[in-house]
Amino acid sequence: MRVARFSTQDADPRFGVIDDEDIVVLKADPMFAGYETTGERVPLADARLLAPVIPRSKVVCVGMNYGAHAKSMDWDTDGDPLIFLKPNTAVVGPGDPIRIPPVEGRIVHEGELAVVIGGVGKQVKAKDWESIVFGYTIANDVSARDQMFADGQWARAKGYDTFCPLGPWIDTEIDPSDLQITTYVDGEVRRTGRTSEMLHKLPELIEFITDVWTLLPGDVIVTGTPDGLGSFEHGQTVDIDIEGLGRLSNPALFRDPR
């Protein structure tokens, strides 16, 4: 099942289930209210897809979770997963611009599988990881790469507004264990890999993360990027395909006049 958050003609956002070329409109957010429908169908072509979820508290990101990427960054992969946070104000949806702030150095895309949390998770055991998962979507963990190293920590470099595109919808049934991830800039392949190449798999990640932070419904875990050439510039478009999940596409624009 594919759950979308959408608007039509500048109306308030609504939720629906995608059924071929239509969206079956739901009465409320299915994460909290189930799948009762209004009886209305909206052509998908007439809808503007929005970020499928606005995290209630946080986006949890996993760094250096693919071996080739970690090696290219000269990062030691032994030990626990590397986790950090993005604020929920970084989230934007399909087609929304990634706003490049006035900082020196590279702005980098990181196409990643995102896990949408559907229940309260605290100290969840690896064997029970699926009990708190609502579904899966695509994320772009945008980074001001040179700022990461200049600051010595990642909060500012990865936390700018618009630095976490999500979409186009949430798939509640897909098997996330071995999906192809491909990132393009203006149609050119820049990163590619499979989710089966993750160093820390989803059960381990959820056990580890929920021992640190309580996860709430609507929170998102962004699980790491494969290796590749990551930078992009004003005027370019970043597309991320994940097998079975669709495509997330966002243009890049300067935040301020240049």
pLDDT in tens, 38-65: 999 999 999 999 999 999 899 999 999 9
pLDDT the model gives residue 184:
98
Q: Return the closest-CA partner of residue 231 out of 102, 142, 168.
A: 142
Q: Residue count of the chain, please give it.
A: 258
Cα distance between residue 189 and residue 240, in whole Å: 10
CB 117 within 8 A of CB 221: yes
Question: How are beta strands 188-194 and 180-185 bridged, if at all?
Answer: antiparallel
Cα distance between residue 232 and residue 238, in whole Å: 8
Q: Which residues of the chain have pLDDT under 70?
A: 70, 258
HSE value, Cβ hemisphere, 13 Å, CA-based, for 253? 9
Query: pTM for the whole thing?
Result: 0.96
